[in-house]
Amino acid sequence: MPFNHKHLLGTQFLSPSDITTVLDTAESMLEISTREIKKVPTLRGKTIINLFFEPSTRTRSSFEMAAKRLSADIINFSKETSSMVKKESLKDTVLNLEAMNTDALIIRHSSSGALHFISTFCKSHIINAGDGAHEHPTQALLDAFTIRQEKKNIEGLRILIVGDILHSRVARSNIFLLKKLGAEVTLAGPPPLVPEEFKKFGVDIDFNLGRALKGADVVMMLRIQLERQQKNLFPSIREYRNLYSLTRKRFRSAKKNAIIMHPGPINRGVEISADLADSAKSLILKQVENGIAVRMAVLYLLLGGKEREITD
Amino acid sequence: MKLLIKNGRVIDPASGTDDTLDILIERGKIVDIKTKIDGDGPKIIDASRLVVAPGFIDIHTHLREPGQEDKETIHTGSLAAAKGGFTSVACMPNTTPVNDNRGIIEYILSEAKKSAVVNIFPIGAVTKGQKGEELTDMADMVDAGAVAFSDDGLPIMNNYLMRRTLEYSKLLNILIIDHCEDTNLSSGGVMHEGYYSYLLGLTGIPSFSEEIMVSRDIILAEKTDARIHIAHLSVKGAAELVREAKKKKLKVTAEVTPHHLFLTDASLENFDTNLKVNPPLRTKDDVKALIEAVKNGVVDVFATDHAPHTPDDKEVELDQAPFGINGLETAVSLFLDKLVHKNIISLQKFIEMISTNPALILGFENKGRICIGADADFTILNLRKEIIVDVNRFKSKSRNNPFHGWKLKGAPEMTIVGGKIVYPF
């Protein structure tokens, strides 16, 4: 299927067939990373900038590796060491970098919609690596890829997302994507972090984790951030852990072959017990591994052009 | 100099006039109104097929001077007002420094005298520096020319202070204007809290942050028997509260802006910073309720909340952008097209809400009416003129207007201030 998009801004803008195209393309990318020489010439001569205005371990390295395995030239930009500390604006920063004849910009920014703003004046392809609380589409795509690997089919699966839904771009991108592929999605977490309005996206909400876990095929845990407590969105980490930490005992309510996912970084012993995070049920590191193949697929579909070969 | 406006359809809601009349102007005042006045000597304006209304008054404008002259000046703001059909504007005190003393009032009025083409009426700050702590010397500022008081976008959260403000305002019989927002509830918000804020991952400003403060203001207005004007009503619940207050005959008035009547939160889907405004654009239901509130008299006044910002201010991430819509040059055409031509309200009602009522609320005895002895401020409308909004042709220094490209029917044809034609320029 053709992938007719200039940018990847969010999963809400993808059709079910777009999503399948990315996932299928990622299947063929997966093998490249297991070769002795982990490189194909597909994007040779393309210039990509990793523009990260927010800290990142996984996403940034993953995009960099994906680009390199496709032979693109990629450089990294980070806000802290840029002229943004001299108050250069976002628009000027992007325009100056783009003047170096870039083909794609991979952008993470703390403001929701920052990429929409950039797309109004930027000629390069733009790939969203996370904008505020809005979207993180490659995370949702790699999550779907990982689920599909384990469960074959996403349609009809019962998927539970637990934690700070309100502030989570991962939750939003996953909700939009999983609903498009026909999954049943339930959200769990303290009421201030799981607004009832989310039901309008076609999901169920259950504030009680124990109850919500019953019959789940997939459990996605989200990182809980300490600053939410300072805003009184929940009373304390202690109370949060007592109510929403995924422990072995609680996890028994889920289906026998249920899997655990987490976009990282994890707070060991807070949203998930350490032993469970490291158990065979947990696909946390598998997600990271798959991330490279999914991002290779995204880069290829946006920049590659139809005439190019995926394999060498 | 004499001026004679001939053959216009003169509409004056204050006297219930709607007739083809001639108006003779001398030394800035109306000296005669008759079916036929023979023009011998005075300059004649042919207003046939046009509507002659008492000059429009914007009770809620930001002129940015002193201190933010990159966004707007008293001069450019007055040109925008004239082009938009306004003969008088009341300007909010959130300048740099804040308009919280006689010196700033005098500065604004002296600049206005030098460079403004419309009447400029300063609104003083209720508290020093708009900090919500200490009252300003209101009597001194009224003496200097303040026509109302408001802390504008930094509303007084302290109920004790609001009580004392309203009590003290009675001494001067001066209007207190409140931007109703509980800033604890709205903190960090950039748009209306609801489906779209959750979809877009943006922090929301809940409806009840406005409702709670409107309700507080109404309770205090009742207890103190003072006058309070609710700025830019944006939500259904607040309109209901004002309706109840009016039933009780409290001295509560309210205004509404074009953007809250004609746009909704759904339009933020593309994260356009020109749609970032406070109070935020609300839902379809709110828009419906506001239009009802206009029709049934719950809302007294149309205001622009003209809030100019430079492209550099607005060409940033949505959460970094300042709030505000540049409104003086589009308001009248929007109201004519969307309300009058759609038969939602009558032309008389529109003029009442944009001229008669603001004059009454601000206590301008010689404005907002067409009668012998009144100030010769007129807005002449061409109801058939079709325009396409083009921000690049604005007289305002700024361009932040979300109606760019809209096709509208009905526009100001001429603006006359104190017997002088100030628009067309």
Complete domains list, chain B, with CATH: 2-51+375-423 (2.30.40.10), 55-362 (3.20.20.140)
Nearest CA to CA, how far is B276 from chain A (Å)?
Answer: 13
DSSP 8-state class, residue B179:
-
Split at pLDDT 50, 70, 90, the class of B157 is very high
Closest of A192, A187, A180, A191 to residue A160, by C-alpha: A187
**CB of B102 within 8 A of CB of B138?**
no
**CB of B273 within 8 A of CB of B190?**
no
**Which residues from chain A sit within 8 angstroms of residue B198, using beta carbons?**
166, 195, 197-198, 200-201
Residues in Cβ contact with B219 at an 8 Å cutoff, skipping those fewer than 6 apart: none
* Strands of A94-245, DSSP E: 104-109, 125-131, 158-162, 184-188, 204-205, 218-221
Q: Is A137-287 CATH 3.40.50.1370?
A: yes
Count Cβ atoms below 10 Å from residue A84 Cβ, excluding itself. 16
**Which residues from chain A sit within 8 angstroms of residue B275, using beta carbons?**
none
Is pLDDT above 70 for A307? no
Is pLDDT above 70 for A305? no
**CB of B77 within 8 A of CB of B61?**
yes
The pLDDT tens digits for B258-268 are 999 999 999 99
CA-nearest residue to B200 within chain A is A134
Burial class (CB in 10 A: 0-12, 13-18, 19+), A197: middle
**CB of A160 within 8 A of CB of A213?**
yes
Axis crossing angle, helix B74-83 with helix B102-115, rounded to the nearest 10: 60
Best mutation target among B186, B198, B270 (most A Cβ atoms within 10 Å) is B198
Of B194, B312, B316, the CB nearest to A197: B194
**Which residues from chain B sit within 8 angstroms of residue A201, using beta carbons?**
198-199
**CB of B342 within 8 A of CB of B294?**
no
Q: Which residues pair with B3 in a beta bridge?
A: B25, B43
Between A72-86, A137-151, B128-142, B280-294, the lowest mean confidence (pLDDT) is in A72-86
**Which residues from chain B sit within 8 angstroms of residue A132, using beta carbons?**
201-202, 319
Which two structure tokens, joined as six digits, stand for B384?
A: 């058939």
Is pLDDT above 90 for A57? no
What is the model's pLDDT at position B22? 97
The pLDDT tens digits for B384-396 are 999 999 999 999 9
**Which residues from chain A sit within 8 angstroms of residue B271, using beta carbons?**
112-113, 116-117
Instruction: Work out the average pLDDT over A94-122.
Output: 96
Place of tokens 């979809």: B199
Nearest CA to CA, how far is A133 from chain B (Å)?
Answer: 4
What is the model's pLDDT at position B41? 79
A:B CB pairs within 8 Å: 58
Is pLDDT above 70 for A19? yes
The pLDDT tens digits for A123-150 are 999 999 999 999 999 999 999 999 999 9
CB contact under 8 A, A113 and B315: no
**Which residues from chain A sit within 8 angstroms of residue B312, using beta carbons?**
89
Instruction: Work out the average pLDDT over B377-387.
Output: 98
Which two structure tokens, joined as six digits, stand for A172?
A: 């939003």
Which two structure tokens, joined as six digits, stand for B294?
A: 């206009």
What is the model's pLDDT at position A309? 44
Percent of chain B with pLDDT over 90: 99
Angle at the Cα of B316 from the Cα atoms of A126 and A125, rounded to 5 degrees: 10
Q: What is the dihedral angle through the alpha carbons of B176, B180, B184, B188, rounded to the nearest 10 degrees?
A: -120
What is the model's pLDDT at position B80? 98
Instruction: Work out the average pLDDT over B312-336.
Output: 97
Split at pLDDT 50, 70, 90, the class of B329 is very high
CB contact under 8 A, A89 and B316: yes
CB contact under 8 A, A116 and B270: yes
CB contact under 8 A, B195 and A114: no
Of A12, A116, A201, the CB nearest to B271: A116
CB contact under 8 A, B201 and A131: yes
The per-residue pLDDT of chain B, averaged, comes to 97
CA distance A163 to A237: 12
- pTM for the whole structure: 0.95
Between A82-96, B121-135, B162-176, B318-332, the lowest mean confidence (pLDDT) is in A82-96
All CATH 3.40.50.1370 domain ranges in chain A, comma separated: 11-136+288-303, 137-287
CB contact under 8 A, B319 and A195: no
Instruction: Work out the average pLDDT over B305-326.
Output: 97
Is pLDDT above 90 for A285? yes
State the complex-level ipTM.
0.94
Of B195, B200, B315, the CB nearest to A112: B200
Is pLDDT above 70 for A272? yes
Is pLDDT above 90 for B114? yes
What is the model's pLDDT at position A86? 82
**Which residues from chain A sit within 8 angstroms of residue B194, using beta carbons?**
197
CA-nearest residue to A114 within chain B is B317
Q: If interface means Cβ-Cβ distance under 8 Å, which residues of chain B face chain A?
A: 194-195, 198-202, 270-271, 273, 312, 315-320
Split at pLDDT 50, 70, 90, the class of B405 is very high
**Which residues from chain B sit within 8 angstroms of residue A117, using beta carbons?**
271, 273, 315-318
Nearest CA to CA, how far is B216 from chain A (Å)?
Answer: 25
Percent of chain A with pLDDT over 90: 88
Best mutation target among A91, A111, A203, A227 (most B Cβ atoms within 10 Å) is A111
What is the model's pLDDT at position A230? 79
CB contact under 8 A, A112 and B318: yes
Of A91, A116, A132, the CB nearest to B315: A91
What is the model's pLDDT at position B58? 98
- The answer, yes or no, to whether the previous bond of A265 is cis (omega within 30 of 0) is yes
Residues of B designated as active site: 305
Question: Which CATH fold would you assign to the domain A11-136+288-303?
Answer: Rossmann fold (3.40.50)
**Which residues from chain B sit within 8 angstroms of residue A112, using beta carbons?**
200-202, 271, 318-319
Is pLDDT above 60 for A311? no
CB contact under 8 A, A197 and B195: yes
The per-residue pLDDT of chain A, averaged, comes to 94
Of A90, A91, A112, the CB nearest to B201: A112
Nearest CA to CA, how far is B183 from chain A (Å)?
Answer: 14
Secondary structure of chain B: what % helix, strand, coil (to 5)?
A: 35, 25, 40
What is the model's pLDDT at position B280? 98
CB contact under 8 A, A135 and B201: yes
Of B201, B273, B319, the CB nearest to A172: B201
Residue type, B107: Y
Nearest CA to CA, how far is B315 from chain A (Å)?
Answer: 7
What is the model's pLDDT at position A186? 98
Is pLDDT above 80 for A1? no
What is the model's pLDDT at position A308? 42
Q: If interface means Cβ-Cβ distance under 8 Å, which residues of chain A face chain B?
A: 12, 89-91, 109, 111-114, 116-117, 131-135, 166, 169, 172, 195, 197-198, 200-201
Is pLDDT above 50 for B252? yes
Residues in Cβ contact with B1 at an 8 Å cutoff, skipping those fewer than 6 apart: B26, B27, B42, B43, B419
